[in-house]
Each structure stands twice: as C-alpha cells, then as structure tokens.
Amino acid sequence: MVSKDGEILGEGFNAPALNDESLRRCDRVYDLTIKPKYDKTCCIHAEWNTIINALKNHGNKIDGGTLYFMCVDKDGNFTDAGKPFCTVCSRLAVQSGLGYFALWVEDKPKIYDVKLYDTDSYEYYRKED
C-alpha cells in the first residue's frame, strides 16, 4: 500500500503482468539459478504493482509518500518481512518519488527513508572483503 497524509493512494500484490493468468510462467520449468533471488518469479512484485497503481491514479501526489510492505501467511496473518533485500523494488521506490519504505518487522512497521532502504537492500548482498 502507498499512503500519504492518511490517504491510501495505491495497493498491489504479487501477480502475473496485468493480473493475467495466461502470463503466469511460475508453473513451467526454467533454469532460474542464474537469476538474482528477487527475480525468480514470473510475477510483478507487490511493491511494483502498488507503485504503478498509485502513479496511475494519483501521479506525483505520491511524492514523499510511504510504501508499506507486509508479508502474510496462508491464514492472512502478518509475518515478519525481514530486512531490505530487493534492489529492484528499492530503486523503483526511489525513482517514483516516495519518501519512505516501511516493512512489517517484529509486529510493527519499521520505517526507512527510501534512500536508506535502497542502500540497505544493496548491503544485504555485500560480499565481505
């Protein structure tokens, strides 16, 4: 969800492009071992769908807004989202003009400045010198 000043500007979820099941490729056998962790699916990330939805409906009104990302289990309960790791999502959040990126961590939102979230998502993959 993207929100600003208490208003929900966009929502999204993991889904094939255009939410079109004919574009789902996850059920096919591909060698995805060469792809990075964040890109081993045919789906558009929930964060991308949310940002695109917000931009389509509200344009630059999302500038400075907050993207909330929460993982849910099969019963619909929030689960820990962990640390920032998806560099594609972090770059899109920065480019779109959002101000903050919030992850559900330890039963509450952990709110990052969007540029810090981007930096931390790259640090997740840092190799020790």
Crossing angle (nearest 10°) for helices 46-58 and 87-96 = 10
pLDDT of res. 26: 67
The DSSP call for residue 120 is H
Crossing angle (nearest 10°) for helices 114-123 and 87-96 = 160
Q: Each residue of 19-53: pLDDT tens digit?
A: 888 877 766 665 556 666 556 667 889 999 999 99
Q: Give the tokens for residue 47.
A: 């964060």
**For the chain, what is the domain count?**
1
25 found inside a domain? no
82 found inside a domain? yes
116 found inside a domain? yes
**Residue 73 belongs to what domain range?**
2-12+47-123
113 found inside a domain? yes
Whole-angstrom Cα distance, residue 65 to residue 60?
A: 10
92 found inside a domain? yes
Whole-angstrom Cα distance, residue 32 to residue 53?
A: 28
33 found inside a domain? no
The pTM of the whole model exceeds 0.85:
no
102 found inside a domain? yes
